[in-house]
Amino acid sequence: MKKLTKEEIKFQVDQLRKDKLVYAAESAATSLVGLVLIFGLGMVLPTPILYIRVVLVILVITLGYWLFMGIGNFKRLKKIKQLEENLK
């Protein structure tokens, strides 16, 4: 594997930071849409059982993406710290 230059390492760090921001924004948007759907569907769905099932699906999707984003961002943070150590 070739040795990375300082500029390449800085570029990778910058890209990883941008990726972290994108995933965090997507997670916030997913959570917001989930909340809007949960409160909006209460007025539309005919039975409470159907509403509970739909809410559970929405919660699983929202929490699943939040967990995916959190784990991914933690890995990116570790990689950023490792690359920054290589710069010193």
According to DSSP, residue 49 is labeled H
Does 76 fall in a domain? Answer: yes
d(CA 3, CA 26): 33
Q: Quote the number of domains for the chain.
A: 1
Residue type, 37: L
Whether 37 contacts 58, CB under 8 Å: yes
**Is residue 10 domain-resident?**
no
pLDDT tens over the chain, length 88 residues:
677 788 888 999 999 999 999 999 999 999 999 999 988 888 888 888 999 999 999 999 999 999 999 999 999 999 999 998 988 7
Its domain, for residue 24, covers 16-80
Assigned domain for 87 exists = no
